[in-house]
């Protein structure tokens, strides 16, 4: 059995495969992520050079809290949000763990933007939480 992270959008038109271990895994509850993924984003950060994406996607860019751009990439056919990357994290692409062929490979380590959590969105209380992004270092 392969340990590579593989997945696709709802229609299968955009597929991805990662050839390196994840850099981080967790949930984001910021307003933008909630709007594109229904409550929270199950996110896996990977080295950009280790990600192979096939299929047609559409890109939407918007400044994040830092003022730096974040680019979300959606399937051009079904609209699934497949991955994103931003100027604030060069060399890192974040894939949508909900789209994994084997979603059990997602092993969340923390919750970011917990200050924006919805009252009905319950995530494992044992996970460390950060009001925004955790300190870099």
Report, as an integer, the average pLDDT of 14-18.
98
Which CATH number fits the domain that encloses residue 99?
A: 2.170.150.70
In a domain? residue 42: yes
| Domain range for 47 | 5-116
C-alpha of 49 from chain center:
16
Q: Which helix (H) or strand (E) element contains residue 33?
A: helix 31-37
Predicted pLDDT at 1: 45
Average pLDDT over the chain, rounded to an integer: 94
In a domain? residue 124: no
For 37-71, the pLDDT digits (tens) are 888 999 999 999 999 999 999 999 999 888 999 99
Is pLDDT of 21 > 90? yes
Predicted TM-score (pTM) of this structure: 0.93
Q: Quick check: 8 and 91 in contact, CB under 8 A?
A: no
- Start-to-end CA span in the chain (Å): 34
Q: Which of 1-10, 78-87, 125-134 has the lowest mean pLDDT?
A: 1-10
In a domain? residue 62: yes
Predicted pLDDT at 10: 97
Structurally, the chain folds into a number of domains equal to 1
Cα distance between residue 2 and residue 52, in whole Å: 16
Is pLDDT of 2 > 70? no
């Amino acid at each position: 059995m392969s340990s590579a992270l593989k997945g696709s959008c709802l229609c299968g038109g955009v597929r991805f495969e990662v050839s390196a271990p994840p850099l981080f895994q967790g949930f984001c509850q910021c307003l933008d992520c909630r709007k594109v993924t229904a409550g929270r984003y199950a996110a896996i950060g990977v080295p950009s050079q280790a990600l192979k994406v096939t299929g047609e996607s559409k890109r939407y860019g918007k400044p994040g809290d830092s003022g730096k751009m974040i680019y979300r990439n959606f399937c051009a056919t079904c609209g699934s949000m497949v991955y994103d990357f931003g100027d604030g994290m060069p060399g890192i692409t974040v894939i949508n763990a909900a789209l994994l062929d084997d979603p059990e490979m997602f092993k969340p380590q923390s919750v970011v933007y917990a200050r924006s959590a919805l009252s009905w969105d319950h995530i494992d209380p044992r996970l460390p939480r950060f009001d925004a992004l955790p300190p870099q270092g």
